[in-house]
Structures are given as structure tokens and as C-alpha cells.
Amino acid sequence: MDLRVINPNTTAGMTATIGAAAERIAAPGTRITAVNPDSGPVSIESHFDEAISAVGVTEEVRRGEAEGADAYIIACFGDPGLLAARELTRAPVIGIAEAAFHVASLVSTRFSIVTTLGRTGIIAEHLLASYGFTGHCRRVRAAEIPVLDLEENGDAAFERIVAECCRARDADNIGAIVLGCGGMADLTARISDAVGLPVIEGVTAAVKLAEALVGLGLQTSKHGDLAFPRPKPFTGRFADLSDTRYE
């Protein structure tokens, strides 16, 4: 199967980190293609960043459809553009926050999230409510590090993440920790060893869920709100989307 892992930001180094983590966990026969948009924010740390990056996500899904991708992963913890992406394809599309919440709930009754910045923690709380996991999450914690510090100051960022995970373990009465950023995809095993709890990271969780959905022959439903978009005129910079028909 061809699994497209879409990093919604434009930082190529982070895309490479995410792709390598996906490749390490993928089953034999799964080909990982890690991509990022040509245009958009270098990191995603706000609602505005997510709105802009969602356009890039849909562009990558449209490209994947032309190239025959079997499933897609949106590798940002805000799951930007998730439902729009699902409208464009019959293939499974999985957001990494969604995947991490599901997997964490299968190995513990309560988990905490450790993310980058406090403001993105609020976005995670919105997703917990939307996906129905508020009752499973004890607390959303922030290490207060910019996303790009994961690439540029990796050792210092790792220490701050571990310290926050240890506080979650000791204070939150939890059984597992969810890492709240796609850029943490290569840190799972090291953090779990340091903290002594199951640590779930959404990129790798999403890879295994995507493989399972493809193996089960399950596709994105085209009945109801996830039906293909209706063709219509678009104007300005999006004029090339006019009257596009999806099947």
C-alpha cells in the first residue's frame, strides 16, 4: 500500500523526521511517502496557521489521488483540514491527534497530553471534545517550547518534554501520555523509557490504524457530509478548482 504522510507545515527537516518514524513502524509492503506543501507556515502554532495549512493539506491529497495513494495521514496534532481532506477521497484519512486519542484509550483509562505551547493545548482541548475523549484526558500540559525547537534545539526540547511528562505521571493519576506534536514522532521510545509509562505518538499510531483500515477494505464514506464536494466556480487564486469533479 502507498501511505501518504502529509506534514502540513513547510519545514522539510520535520517532514523527514516524521517520514522516518513512519517508515520504522510500517509493515512490510507499506510504502511511506512523506510530503509537505510548497506554501504555508513553517510551523503550526495557532488557529490561523491551521487555516492556512489546511489548503496545503487538500492540495497534497489531490496530488495523492492522481498518483494512486491508498491512505493519508495528516501529521499535525491540530488535524488541520481533516474533514475537507476526507471529502476529496475514498481512501482513509487519519489525523494524528485522533489516532493518538483512540490508541491511548485502548491501553489506559486516563491519559494526559504533553504538547509544545499552551495556546496549542487549548486547540487540543477542542479536539478532545469534538472526538469524544474529554472524559479520558486528565490534563493537557505544555512544555512551552516552539515547535521548531524540536528541530533546532532538540536536546533542550527533549529535556523539557520529559520533565513535563514526569509531572503528568506524578500528579495526574494517569496510565499513559499522548505527545501533542508531529515533530515529536522520533521521541516516543526515549520518553517512555525515561517516564516509565506507555507513551503514544500520533504519527506512528496513525500508520498502524491506516494499515488496518486498508486491510479491512474500509473506505471513507461518500454518504452524507463526507460526499465529494459539489462542482462550482472558484475565483481568484483558486480559479483552477472551478467545476472540479471528484469520483
> Which residue ranges make up each domain of the chain?
2-95+205-241, 97-201
Mean of the pLDDT values across residues 62-86? 97
71-74, strands of its sheet edge to edge? 31-35, 2-6, 71-74, 93-95
Give the whole-angstrom CA distance, residue 21 versus residue 106. 21
pLDDT at 150: 79
**Percent helix, strand and coil across the chain, each to the nearest 5:** 50, 15, 35
The structure's pTM equals 0.95
pLDDT tens column, 131-168: 999 999 999 999 998 887 777 767 888 899 999 999 99
Q: Do domains 2-95+205-241 and 97-201 have the same CATH topology?
A: yes
pLDDT tens column, 54-66: 999 999 999 999 9
Could you confirm whether domain 97-201 is CATH 3.40.50.300? no
pLDDT tens column, 8-50: 999 999 999 999 999 999 999 999 999 999 999 999 999 999 9
SS3 91: coil
pLDDT tens column, 99-123: 999 999 999 999 999 999 999 999 9
pLDDT tens column, 184-216: 888 899 999 999 999 999 999 999 999 999 999
228 phi, psi to nearest 5 deg: -60, 145
Could you confirm whether domain 2-95+205-241 is CATH 3.30.70.580? no
Whole-angstrom distance between the N-terminal and C-terminal Cα of the chain? 20
| Total number of residues shown for the chain | 247
